[in-house]
Amino acid sequence: MSETTPDTLIQNKKEVPSEFNKIAKRYDLATSLSQGYQKDLQTSVDRMNLTGNEDLADLCCGTGKSTIACLNNLPNGKVIGIDNSEGMLETAREKLIPKFGNKVTFVQQDVMNLDLADNSLDAIFMSYGIRNMPDFERCVRNLNRVLKPGGKICFHEYAISKSFASKLYWKFLGYFLIIPFAGLTTGSTKIFRYLIKSVETFLSPNEFVDLMKKAGFENIKRSPLGSWRKPVLHTFIAQKPTQ
């Protein structure tokens, strides 16, 4: 069997969860060194303007950092965290179940083929996940399907414009900052090298907004996050039509 490399992960994204399994126990340490990581997640959740009693799915929830941000804004709601890496989910369960009890559940599923009923969710949050899907449009259309009419969706995601300056800025961040520090904390750079490439091959912000429109969403709003992430990290919020 040939070695799994960042390039082969781009070509076959079904292998990505197994790579996340390898670093699951050390992933939180790596992200804790990223300035503003948790604050940015909370900002994106805040921008959804939830009422506090929604049934929300946190897709590609990983070790549960995004789930915590969602639960902070749902005093009377519930969250189902979904990820295809059992290692990441195990870490999330260990952290969150003792604190939040039955307000949160975690399920292993392939978000690309989400097994949820039509019109069953009030809201969806998806951080750093859509670019890992093999077919962006098909995935977003499926998310539209499971939302109730009027339901909200939020993508918290890196997306770079087509300009040379943006591409150069991302390469500097990725190859000179993110990969070296992530490698030191997790003992592996492979999945992080893939993640940098996945941003380079993802849609531009404007292209992703157009895709959301094509998939049936309305009231789409894109807002940048702060600090050094402003040129590359965005909150995309939209709504499923009420009819």
- Evaluate if pTM is beyond 0.85: yes
What is the average pLDDT score of the chain? 92
Q: Is the pLDDT of residue 9 over 90?
A: no
**What percent of the chain shows pLDDT beyond 90?**
73
Range 179-187 contact pairs with CB under 8 angstroms and sequence separation of 24 or more: 181/30, 181/33, 182/30, 185/26, 185/29, 185/30, 185/33, 186/23, 186/26, 186/27, 186/29, 186/30, 187/23, 187/26
φ, ψ for residue 234, nearest 5 deg: -135, 155
pLDDT digits (tens, 9 = 90+) for 76-134: 999 999 999 999 999 999 999 999 999 999 999 999 999 999 999 999 999 999 999 99
Question: 50: helix, coil or strand?
Answer: coil
What are the tens digits of pLDDT across the range 183-238? Answer: 888 888 888 888 999 999 999 999 999 999 999 999 999 999 998 899 999 999 99
The full set of domain ranges for the chain reads 6-239
> Is a pLDDT exceeding 80 seen at residue 54?
yes
**pLDDT value of residue 224:** 96
Homologous superfamily, domain 6-239: Vaccinia Virus protein VP39 (3.40.50.150)
Q: Which residues of 84-98 are buried (b: 16+ CB within 10 A; e: fewer)?
A: bbebbbbbbbebbee
- Helix, coil or strand: residue 61: coil
Residue 33 predicted with pLDDT over 80: no
Would you say residue 5 has pLDDT above 90? no
Nearest to 125 by CA among 62, 68, 57: 57
CA-based angle 199:61:117, to the nearest 5? 110
